[in-house]
Amino acid sequence: MVPVLFLLLPGSLLLDWAGPAEALRIANQVRQAQGQPPAFDLRFIGPLEQPATSVGPRLAGIEPLPAALPDGAWLVLVGMPGNHLDLRAPGVKRAIDWLRALRPWPAAARLVTVCAGSLLAAHAGLLDGRRATTHHSHLDELRAAAPHCDVAGNRVFVIDGPVASSAGVTTGIDLALHLVAQECGAVVASRVAQTMVLALRRGPQDPELSPFLAHRNHLHAALHRVQDAVSAEPQQAWDVPAMARIAHTSTRHLTRLFVEHAGVAPLEYLRRIRLSVAQAALATGRNVTQAAQLAGFGSDTQLRRAWRQFGLAGTPSSAAGLLQNS
C-alpha cells in the first residue's frame, strides 16, 4: 500500500484534505469490491495533537511528525484560511522546519499540495526547480516564496515529476482522481468519480486525460457501465449490440447516449481504447501483430487504419522500431 500522510496544522482547510482523503478511501473500497487489496494507507500527521479545523471542531488521533517519510509515501500539504500564509501561526514554523529536514527529497516519494499547501513546500525549499500551481490569490506569494519555482496560473493542477500541485479546495479532488488513475487504473478512478458524483475536470493546459478516462465527463450510470466493461476487456468482440446489452437499452438509444453524454460514437470510443492498449503493447516491446491482437483489432491493417484515423505520429511499425533501436 502507498502510505499517504496528510500534514494537518491548526485551521487546515477541511475540504483541502477531506475531499482527497475521501477519494482515496473510496478507491480502496472499489478495489476491495473487485477482490483486490486496498491501495492507500491514510495517515494524518502534524506538530499538534488536536488541531482545530477551519470550521472549528478539533481533530483527534493526529500522529507526531515522523523522523522520515515511509518508503514510497505521498505527503499531502494543505492550505489554511487567509490571504497570506502566517508564518507565525501555531505549528507552521515547526512544520516548515520538518519539511526542510526532508531534503533531499526521497526518490520514491511524492509531494502533493492543495491550495496554499504549496506555500509550506515553497518556504521549505521543496519547489525549487519545479513547476507548480496554487490558489489564484496566492500566486504572487508563491512566486516570492519560491523564486526558483516556475509558478503556473489558471490551472486545475500541475504534475512535475514527484511534485503534484492543485489550485485549491475542490481541485484537490481532481488531482486525487488523477493520482488514483495513475496508481490504480482508469476504471477505479472513474468509479470513484461516480461515487462522489463528480465530473473529471481538466483545464486546457493540464495533463491530458488517458483515453481510458476521456469522454467520461458525465454522470450517466448505464453509459459508465458500458465504458467500464469496454475498458476492462477491450479485446472482446465488442459491437454496438453487445454494448447495448450491458446498458440494458436499445442500440439506437445507446448511440444517442454516447453522443449526448460522452461526445463520441460507441465504436469510435472502442477504437480509441483499443488504440491506447496497442500503443502500450508496442511500448513494452510487442510487435505490430501482437499489439493488434492484444488490443482486439482484427488485423494489423485495422490497427494501422485506426492509427491514421486518430492522427498519431508515424506508424505502428515505427513505434515498435523506436523501442527496438533504443
pLDDT in tens, 66-124: 999 999 999 999 999 888 999 998 899 999 999 999 999 998 999 999 999 999 999 99
Closest CA to 214 of 279, 294, 272: 272
Whole-number average pLDDT of the chain: 91
Residue with cell 481504447: 273
What pLDDT shows up at residue 172? 93
DSSP 81-128: SSSS--TTSTTHHHHHHHHHTTPSPPTT-EEEEETTHHHHHHHTT-ST
Closest CA to 78 of 156, 157, 163, 169: 169
- The CA radius of gyration of the chain, in Å to the nearest whole number, is 22
- With residues binned 3-state (H G I as helix, E B as strand, rest as coil), the percentages for the chain, rounded to 5, are 45, 10, 45
- Mean pLDDT in residue range 302-321: 87
> Does residue 324 carry a pLDDT above 70?
no
- Banded pLDDT at 326 (limits 50, 70, 90): very low
Closest CA to 307 of 290, 323, 291: 291
Span of 8-22, 114-128, 238-252, 278-292 with lowest mean pLDDT = 278-292
What pLDDT shows up at residue 35? 95
- Are 180 and 192 in contact, with CB atoms under 8 Å apart? yes
Q: What is the pTM of this model?
A: 0.78
- Mean pLDDT in residue range 138-151: 96
Q: For the purposes of burial, counting CB atoms within 10 Å of the CB of 308, is it exposed (0-12), middle (13-18) or buried (19 or more)?
A: exposed
Mention every residue, 6+ apart, whose C-beta is less than 8 A from residue 88: none
- Banded pLDDT at 143 (limits 50, 70, 90): very high
- Banded pLDDT at 320 (limits 50, 70, 90): confident
C-alpha 163/C-alpha 158 separation (Å) is: 8
Q: How far is CA 180 from CA 41, 100, 234, in A?
A: 13, 27, 21
Higher pLDDT, 216 or 34: 34
What pLDDT shows up at residue 214? 82
**DSSP H/E element including 169:** none
- Banded pLDDT at 65 (limits 50, 70, 90): very high
> Does residue 50 carry a pLDDT above 70?
yes
Q: How many CA atoms lie within 13 A of 19 on its CB side?
A: 23
> Does residue 321 carry a pLDDT above 80?
no
Closest CA to 303 of 277, 269, 284, 283: 277
> Does residue 180 carry a pLDDT above 50?
yes
What pLDDT shows up at residue 325? 47
C-alpha 20/C-alpha 168 separation (Å) is: 11
Segment of 167-171, 212-216, 242-246, 276-280 carrying the highest mean pLDDT: 242-246
> Does residue 149 carry a pLDDT above 90?
yes
> Does residue 204 carry a pLDDT above 70?
no
Higher pLDDT, 311 or 17: 17
Torsion, Cα 263 267 270 272, to 10 degrees, reads -60
The CA-to-CA distance between both ends of the chain, in Å, stands at: 33
Closest CA to 19 of 62, 54, 60: 54
- Mean pLDDT in residue range 228-252: 94
Q: Which domains does the chain have, with CATH numbers?
A: 2-188 (3.40.50.880), 220-326 (1.10.10.60)
